[in-house]
Amino acid sequence: MASVLTVILNWRTAEMTLRATEAALVAMDGIDGGLTIVDNDSGDGSFERLSAEVAARGWRRVRVLQSGRNGGFGAGNNFGIRAGLPAGETPDYIYLLNSDAFPAPDAIKALLMHLESHPQTGFAGSRIHGEDGLPHHTAFRFPSIGGEFEQAARLGPISRMLRGSVVAPPLPVVTGRVDWLAGASLMMRQSVLDRIGLFDETFFLYFEETELCLRAARAGFPTDYVVESRVAHIGSVSTGMKTWARIPQFWLESRLYYYTKSHGRAYAVVATLAHVAGGLIWRARALIQRKDFIDPAYYLYDMSAHAVRWVASGFRPVAEK
């Protein structure tokens, strides 16, 4: 029987992590494997709180590990993946679950059954929805120059012209192939990770799932969106993305690193220029139509300034994590 290691990364969300763990244990019923909570050096007593609660609740399939540093999403999950199952075995599948995500009782099994019956597929992810039942957009195309321009311009004729480059097309209504999925609920074949490697820990936050899915696809192992697997997700609890007043430098850093690693420096520069050009079109329209700007403050300025510093530094990282 195939085994699954569930990894939940915690950063200062101990109570919610316990709730996610409880839901995951129900969804792991009948599945061989275990669950690892990785505390990403929260520094707020989370590790002690989680360890005590796991022991008090008698969760024998669960262990709590301390990563020792907050290296970001990829590094924290890699720590749990490398630790393997509690008895030291290597699992057949890795299942990543966000600390603010709560799988339905059959959600993990649906992903496992899909990967077992589709050996050519490398990764499989769930249909994510809010606690209100409304779907969250977590299935995407790989970012591109055309996608950057379309996304920033927000203009119907441009979107129609570049429909094949739209990064966030309408969500699939049936199970099928996508380019990449957000990592809130993502199952990965261990044999694929053995071949292509784990998350690139240069990414602190954002674009790490995109790059891993791209690496898998280039190696011949695509990603599938499994609508039968349903997971409720609050979203942005650890990152605070919903309340960003200004775009964080680590997001800008991750974006440029993704393009540079995956497509080269010239592509990264042109993609940024395309985004800024699209953003200027949107702003002109917003001024004419008296619409509110919906991006964080100084968004285009921050993106442009960061890119200029990046080029001037000889294409080296320019932001602190």
Q: Could you state, in order of their start, the residue ranges of all structural domains in the chain?
A: 3-135+171-242, 244-312
* CA distance readout (Å), 8 to 73, 185, 310: 10, 10, 33
- From start to end of the chain, where are the E strands? 3-10, 32-39, 62-66, 93-98, 101-103, 123-129, 139-140, 176-178, 180-181, 185-189, 223-233
pLDDT above 90 (res 255) = yes
**What is the rounded CA–CA span in Å between residue 28 and residue 30?**
6
Q: What's residue 177's pLDDT?
A: 98
pLDDT above 90 (res 295) = no
Q: What's residue 282's pLDDT?
A: 94
CATH superfamily of 3-135+171-242: Spore Coat Polysaccharide Biosynthesis Protein SpsA; Chain A (3.90.550.10)
Q: Which tens digit of pLDDT belongs to each residue from 173-213?
A: 999 999 999 999 999 999 999 999 999 999 999 999 999 99
The full length of the chain comes to 321
Residue 91 carries which DSSP code?
Answer: P
pLDDT above 90 (res 4) = yes
Look up residue 13 and give its two tokens. Answer: 């969300």
Q: What's residue 243's pLDDT?
A: 64
Mean pLDDT throughout 80-84? Answer: 97
Residue 321 — pLDDT band, cuts 50, 70, 90?
A: very low
Mean pLDDT throughout 284-304? Answer: 90
Q: Which tens digit of pLDDT belongs to each residue from 236-254?
A: 655 556 567 899 999 999 9
Q: What's residue 315's pLDDT?
A: 85
State phi, psi for 316 to the nearest 5 degrees. Answer: -105, 160
Whole-structure pTM value: 0.94
Q: What's residue 319's pLDDT?
A: 58
Mean pLDDT throughout 143-154? Answer: 97
pLDDT above 90 (res 320) = no
Look up residue 299 and give its two tokens. Answer: 């968004």
Q: Which tens digit of pLDDT belongs to each residue from 260-289?
A: 999 999 999 999 999 999 999 999 999 999
CA neighbours closer than 13 Å in the CB half-sphere of residue 311: 14
Question: 10 Å Cβ neighbour count for 223?
Answer: 24
Question: What rounded mean pLDDT belongs to the chain?
Answer: 94
Q: What's residue 87's pLDDT?
A: 83
Mean pLDDT throughout 289-306? Answer: 90
Strands 32-39, 3-10: pairing is parallel
Residue 135 carries which DSSP code?
Answer: B
Look up residue 315 and give its two tokens. Answer: 């294409």
pLDDT above 80 (res 30) = yes
Residue 125 — pLDDT band, cuts 50, 70, 90?
A: very high
